[in-house]
Every structure is written in structure tokens, then in C-alpha cells.
Chain A
Amino acid sequence: MENSHIRNFSIIAHIDHGKSTLADRILEICHLVDKRQMQDQMLDSMELERERGITIKLNTVKLNYNFEGQDYILNLIDTPGHVDFSYEVSRSLAACEGAILVVDASQGIEAQTLANLYLAMEDDLTIIPVLNKIDLPNADVPKVKKELMDVLGFKEEEILLVSGKTGEGVKELLDEVVRKINPPRIDKTSPLKALIFDSYFDPYKGVVLLVKIVSGKVKVKDQIKMMATSSVFEVTEVGVHTMTYQSLDTLESGMVGYICASIKDISKVEVGDTITLENNPASEPLKGYKKMKPMVFSGIFPTESSRYDELKEALEKLKLNDASLTIEPETSVALGFGFRTGFLGLLHMDIILTRLEREFNLDTIATSPSVIYRVTLTGGDVIEIDSPNKMPDKTKIVKIEEPYIYTSIIAPAEFIGPIMTLCQNKRGIYKTTDYINENRVNIHYEIPLGEIVYDFYDKLKSSTKGYASFDYEVSGYKESKLVKMDILLNGEVVDALSVIVHETESYNKGRAIVQKLRKLIPRQNFEVPIQASIGSKVIARENISAMRKNVLAKCYGGDVSRKRKLLEKQKEGKKRMKMIGSVEVPQEAFLAVLSEDE
């Protein structure tokens, strides 16, 4: 295939603006799947993605398309929409020359519309703006068109109208992709440079590298070298993804495909790295893309301590195609051996925990999430800590700084009041409000990231009836009066429950946490005090009374089998508890500090 007949593109959108449905129609038009075997959200291959209706991992698919009598190859690289996964988006975009920007014709511009568009513009991609869901009765094409023109600067005639649901306008959209997006630049003569934009583990093939070949070519039996780690492997297979693998003899400049090289050791591969040939190496690696740093840290521990090795292996496998995940060993007095794990955000954390449970059948306990605090010590040294338990003694601290974010909260103007109240309650500093049109606003605050990782999303949603969208970027560190608060069960500090809180909120939070724990921890065979303390000062206390009743009061003929089943159930329930000293604590308790009210 002539290079001029290849197009690499992504679809970017705010969550729920219909990206995956549009992708389904594109696949259908290109006859990759026929209507009968069509499953909704074809590209979302993870069970979790289909279930939640979101895209987490990017996927890539090669499509054949005929335009004006000529055959073209369209490489569609799917992207996630959620703020936590902007890193994934930037990886997808690095392999593209263009992007379709999808905006819901009834919703208008949302926070991730902007965020993803900015990412695409940083990569100099050609943007095709599209209004989707025009079939909906409440679609307001003129209004949303005007938003795209006023806020994003598109020209009216550039904006296409489609319906991913009915397929209207999708063919015209693909024509526009061919016409408007540049073919990949080709350089077949220079040494091999292939950008690894994703990878995953296949039990039969080993590590599968998803690559864009920028220059040169690669074929089976080539010795390839990872430029960052200098590891060398022999290529066992190259090819492209249709809906499954399609192996080829060679991948060459301009192509997007996969490489397998019997790579078993996950740590030898770094997404964003450049692959070259060992015997004819490139002199310079490709410019990688901005590496996303994890923002939220939590301790993850196996519920059964004997399963530590399994947890380690599972996290390493997940890390393989999730470069934003960081793991390092952590030891807790209460929970034993586990990992301090870094995530992009709370949704990311939630998804990893769910995948551990579903895909690896691992029961885990996650501790309350923490951000990275910057602590200046009396000696002048500055240290960064990602866990309350690494906080030095108060007497050694000159100041503590915490990360702040700059928000984009887009919502109907009628919700300005509730949004501002919420941000204010989260120690937010008001910056400015932009008007997208006369009744939609983009509100900017600076808020401590540590406040966002608790229940900000949920609160924002409930206080705006679900109409607000939210995105942020890190804006820097600011000094705050922060203190470490410990939680004691039966007089013993439970390290896994410690949190860092703002001094002014410590009493309220301490009280809320001990009350919540009292509800979550079942009665034990003895009375258990729960205390919150700062240093040696107890600021809140509750008691769990001793258990007084656990018996089947009557037990006759019919109850006998049931009774045994009931005991089995109680036994199972206990297995899911963690012994902290002599107190049995359910897993949920470790996240109790997450949501403050109720």
C-alpha cells in the first residue's frame, strides 16, 4: 500500500459523547464486522469497559476504506475520555496525524472536550470537529456549532454533523478523514525508529508491543533494541490488528502495528521508548511524550497475606500496559506486606482494584488515598512523601506544602452557586469564570488535590444534578497547615488508617471517621474503643460495644440445614476481615476515611 493511502487518526471526546458508538459505525462501514456479529462498543474489549460504558485502554484497529475509487488504510486508535486517563490519550495521539473531535449536539462543550483538544493541538494534529447525536430530539445544532466557533475557533463549514446511532453522516466523515488528515510522513531509508505507544501481555506471545513505525522497517528475526533500556530481543512476529491479529512479513515506516519478541520480562519494556535495530541503530530516540506522573497513592495489601506474591505478579502485569501505574513495596504494621501504588486519579485506582479482583481473583485492602506532600525539614532539606506514615515528627518540620490543581468546571450558569460553595468547602481559591455561551460557564478554582481525591466528583455531580463536567491540571505547590491524624483501635495506632488533614478540619474529620468506623466494624467479643488523635492528643472517640448476641434462637428440624449454611456464611464473612491486634476489621473500614459524611 502506498503511504499516501494511509491515515492514522483518533477519536477524542468528553465521556458519554458517543465516541465508542461512532467507532462501532465506522467499523461497520469498513465491513470489519458485519451487523449480525456487531456487539456494542466493539473497541472496548475489557469487560469493565463495556460494563461502565467507558474506554480505559486504548485499542487500535486497521480499516480498509474506498474513497473515490481508491483503497485506503485507516488506522483508528481509540482513546479514553476520562480525566484520569489523559495520559492514555496523549499516547494514542502520538501515533496519529489527525483526530476527530466529537461533541454531543445536545450537551455542548464539556471539560474533557477542551482537555483532549489541547492535547491534540500540542501534537500538531489535524482536527475534524464533529457534532454527534444529531438524531436526539434535544440536539441543538446551531447552539453547539456556535460554541465550537466561539470557544474553539472552528469555521462553520468545517463542522460535520453525524449520528453514531443511525449512521447518518459517518460516510462523509470518513471521506473527510481521507481528504483532510495528512498521510504519515515516510522515511524508509533511515534506521528503524518505532514508537512504543502501548503494550500488553499475551500468555502465548509474551509482551505485545503496539508501535508506530516512524522510519525504517522491521521484520521477523530482526534483532531489536530498546533505546531506553538497551535490551535486545529477536522479533518473532510483526503484524497489524484487525479485530484479531493479522501477522505480516514486515512493518515499515508509516504503519501502525504490533511487534512480538518473546519478551517475558516486563521491566525491559517502557511505553514511550523507541525501538531500533541492533545492527543499524538510530542515533537519537524519538521525542517521547510527556510522562504522566501518578497523583494519588494508596497502599494495596492482599487480604490473605499468603497471596503477596500473586498480588505482586498481578500488579506487574497491569503495569505492563499501564505505564502510569507505579508500585513499590510497602510494609504496614496492621496489614503486613503490600505495595504503595500510584494512580492518576481515583477512577484509575478504582479500576485497578476491580481488575485485581476480577481478572486475578485477588481480594485486596486499599488504604485511604494520599497525594505527594512536600515537607521542608528543620535542616533545610526538602522531602516528598506519598504516605501519611512517612510524615516526619512535627518538631522536625518547618513547613508542609501540598499540590494544588487548576479546575475547569463546565456547567449551566444556574449551578454557579452550588459549585462555588462546594469548591469553597474544599479549601478552593476562586480564580475566574469564563462564559461558553450566555447560559454555560467554565469555572476556575485552585483546589488542593488532596481534597479532590476524597469525594469531590460525587459531590459535584449531586450538587449540579449531573450537569457539571470537570477537568484539571496541576498548578503547583502551596504551603498549608497540615497535620497527621492517627486512628487507634483498642488503644493501638492502626498505621493503615492514618490520614493527613488540614488543621482546621481535623476535629470534624476525626469525629466523622470514628463514627463511620463504629458503624463499619462489627461488634467483637469485647468492647473496642476507636479514637482519633493528633500526636498524643485524642480528638474524637467512639466505642464499639461487645457482641451480645449471635445465635439462632430457635432451631428445629427445618432450621438445621439452614443453620449450617448460616454458619458457613458467617465463616466466609470472617475470612474477609483483617485482624488488627485482636480486632476483626472489614475491608471497607480502610476506605472509611474516604467519604466524610453520612
Chain B
Amino acid sequence: MDEIKAVYIHIPFCKQICSYCDFCKFYYDQKWVREYLMALEKEIKDRYMDEKISKIYIGGGTPSALNNEELDYLFAIIKLLNLDDNIEFTFECNLSDITEDLIDKLIANRVNRISIGIESFDPEKLEFLERNADFEDAQRKIEMCKAKGLTNINVDLMYALQNETLKMLKKDLKLFLKLDVPHISTYSLMIEPNTKLYNKKIEAIDEDLDAKMYETICKTLENEGYEHYEVSNFAKPGLASKHNLTYWDNEEYYGFGLGASGYAFRVRYTNTRSLTKYITGNYVMEKEMLGEKEMMDYEIILGLRKTKGINLKHFYEKFNVNLQNQYPVDDLVKSGDLIYKDGNIFINPDKLYIMNEILIKLV
């Protein structure tokens, strides 16, 4: 297996908690941030084996919630990593946190991609999500980033919210396209346990409408020159997220920080969500050791999320077995669930939104 190339770092602090969020997060508190960053530094020193890192993603929570001093500390920690010259370095930002100073600082510290959690511009949707966003503000800030040379930008869009109509979604899509960014991630709302929405017993919207919305998104974005490269992700040619492709290519990566997940040395692990445990050095909460079969299962489950699917030759090189010999791929090609083309196996685009049904038959 290749050496680890990717690192995810989790910053679990937010100034505002969104109704749908089930990630590991706390209200921002200076005292805790300091302690947390010290622990993060220790975790990286304990676990990182000095591999050359070419993809790094700082997510949250809200990394941009940190103040100047804290950001300096964070970037000092990152200097512990042996970064490749040709790195993709993504930093997650809240729209309201974006300032000239912040962008200057990010650029000075080699950040070359930002991901902005906008989610929607519709007042009703925003209220439901318990978020804020203003279109003019977003447009201005994104222009500013671009002017400073930070052009590789992702924005998140959420849909299938309670009471959302197709019309509302189309309006959102129109505004998002106006932002003219090279990457858009879209998420159909999932109501997860331990979220405000779950506790309020909010129900998912009608399945047919949800599917219709997905169809609309795919069609609209593809018409505008975005490549639909993963179930929920769209990018202008050449600008797919390299870091996120690490996951879908089933490659190893470090996950550092509270509640972060990683995949290193054939172990998939999830860090503790307890701040006190983390600070005392008890990082890992759960471990899954992978055998050959599990590794292949993951390769399929993740690989088929990509619209170009799995390359059969690559699979053979990685596992020394033919995918078709190990899994009932041929049957599913025959039934039209999978498509075989140019040495790749991928999910029939019409069935991408019901891909679990296909995966169940496969693994």
C-alpha cells in the first residue's frame, strides 16, 4: 500500500450550532481552544510518521471561528507536517468570518482552496437550518478571494428541507451558479440522531420530490459545465477535490483532532468525541482492522460513488484479484445496474440515487 498522503484536521468549535449538524462540535470558548490546540499538537507528534503530505483539509466545526492568535498556533502545528510542494490545502470557512486579513493569513500559510458552507440563500431554508447567508455579501467576499488569487473555491448547497419546493431549489441553484465558483457540493438533508432537527422530530420530505430535486441539480449543474464526479459533488474540469477523492479512492489518510476519522496502516479509526479524554491523550475511540475482503468491500462501496467508478486494472493491481471473480459484477451489468465501459465499472447514472440497493447486491 502507498504511503499516506492526506491529512484531515478537525476544529470542533462553532459560534453558532446548525440545526442539522451531527459533527463533533462545541460552542467556541477561548480557554478550550487553547487547550485543544495543545492536545492536537501532541496527537500529531504522537502519531504522524513523517510521510510526505500532498492533501490537507482543515474542517469542522468552524475552523474560521478561531481568532488570529489561535490561527497562528494552528498553522504552526501544521508546520510539523512534511508538506509537498504541490499541495492541495483546503480550509473550511464560514461566510461571515471571511475578511481580507483572514484570506491574507490563509494564503500566507499555503492554503490554496477554501470551502464555504453557504447551504442556501433562501430565508425560509436558512431559518430552518439555523444559519445566515446573504447573496450580495457572498458575491463580494468570493470576488475578494479570487482577486487575491484564491480561486479554488467550493460552496455547499443543501436541499430536500422541510417545506422546500422545487421552485425554491431552482432559485438557489441560480444564485449559486452566479457565484461562479469551480466546485459545488450538494447535500440532501439527512436527519441524524443527536441533531436539533432530530430532537424536534422533523421528518424527511417526500422521496419522489427529493429524487426530483437531485435530478434538477444534476441537470442544471452539468448544463453549466460542472462535471458530476461523485454522488453529491460537482466540479469544473480538473478541479475536483483531491482530498475528498482520497476517501472515494479508498486511500489511507490521517484524521487528527476530536471526533476525526482516519484510515492508516489498514485500520479505520474514529477519534473520541470527549474533549477531556482527548486532552489526556486518549485519542482513539473505535478501531476497525481491515482484512483483504473488507478492504475490497470498501474499495467498491466508495469507488462506486464516483461517476467514473472503479478501474478494473487498478483494482487488480491493488488486490491481485479480478473484481469480476470476487463480486457478481457481471450479473449487475446484465441487469443494467452497473455499466462497463473502457475498463471501468460504474453505476448506471439513472440509478445513482438508489445505489445502496446495488451495493447490497454486490458486497
- Chain A residues closer than 8 Å to B109, beta-carbon distance: none
Choose among A545, A553, A555, A564 the residue that contacts B247 (Cβ–Cβ < 8 A): A555
A556 at the interface (CB under 8 A from B): yes
- Chain A residues closer than 8 Å to B297, beta-carbon distance: 564
Counting contact residues on chain B (CB < 8 A from A), the size range is 35 or more
B162-193, CB under 8 A of A: which get 1 and which 0?
00000000000000000000000111101000
B207 at the interface (CB under 8 A from A): yes
Asked if A550 and B356 sit within 8 Å, CB to CB, the answer is yes
Asked if A548 and B305 sit within 8 Å, CB to CB, the answer is no
B222-245, CB under 8 A of A: which get 1 and which 0?
000000000110000000000010
Q: A549-B211, A553-B231, A553-B232 are in contact. Are A558 and B270 (CB under 8 A)?
A: yes
Asked if B270 and A570 sit within 8 Å, CB to CB, the answer is no
Who on chain A is nearest to B287 by CB? Answer: A561
- Chain B residues closer than 8 Å to A561, beta-carbon distance: 261, 268, 270, 286, 288
Asked if A557 and B262 sit within 8 Å, CB to CB, the answer is yes
From residue A479, how far is it (CB to closest CB) to chain B in Å? 48
From residue A581, how far is it (CB to closest CB) to chain B in Å? 16
- Chain A residues closer than 8 Å to B259, beta-carbon distance: 558
Q: A545-B208, A547-B354, A564-B301 are in contact. Are A557 and B188 (CB under 8 A)?
A: no
B28 at the interface (CB under 8 A from A): no
Counting contact residues on chain A (CB < 8 A from B), the size range is 20 to 34
Asked if B357 and A547 sit within 8 Å, CB to CB, the answer is yes
- Chain A residues closer than 8 Å to B210, beta-carbon distance: 548-549
Asked if A525 and B357 sit within 8 Å, CB to CB, the answer is yes
In the bound assembly, the distance between CA atoms of A545 and B208 in angstroms comes to 9
- Chain B residues closer than 8 Å to A554, beta-carbon distance: 185, 187, 190, 232
From residue A258, how far is it (CB to closest CB) to chain B in Å? 52
A523 at the interface (CB under 8 A from B): yes
The winner among A545, A563, A564, A566 for most chain B CB atoms within 10 A is: A564
In the bound assembly, the distance between CA atoms of A563 and B268 in angstroms comes to 13
- Chain A residues closer than 8 Å to B302, beta-carbon distance: 555, 560
From residue A562, how far is it (CB to closest CB) to chain B in Å? 9
B359 at the interface (CB under 8 A from A): yes
- Chain B residues closer than 8 Å to A556, beta-carbon distance: 244, 247
Q: A550-B357, A567-B356, A570-B360 are in contact. Are A560 and B187 (CB under 8 A)?
A: no
Q: A554-B187, A555-B231, A557-B262 are in contact. Are A548 and B360 (CB under 8 A)?
A: no
In the bound assembly, the distance between CA atoms of A550 and B352 in angstroms comes to 9
A277-319, CB under 8 A of B: which get 1 and which 0?
0000000000000000000000000000000000000000000
- Chain A residues closer than 8 Å to B187, beta-carbon distance: 553-554
Asked if B353 and A560 sit within 8 Å, CB to CB, the answer is no
From residue A458, how far is it (CB to closest CB) to chain B in Å? 26
Top 8 A-B residue pairs of the complex, sorted by shortest distance between their CB atoms: A548-B211, A558-B261, A553-B188, A550-B356, A557-B261, A550-B354, A548-B207, A554-B187
Q: A548-B210, A549-B353, A560-B268 are in contact. List 19 more A-B contacts (CB 8 A).
A: A525-B354, A545-B208, A549-B207, A550-B357, A551-B355, A551-B356, A553-B187, A553-B231, A554-B232, A555-B232, A556-B247, A557-B247, A557-B261, A558-B259, A561-B261, A561-B286, A563-B301, A567-B301, A567-B363
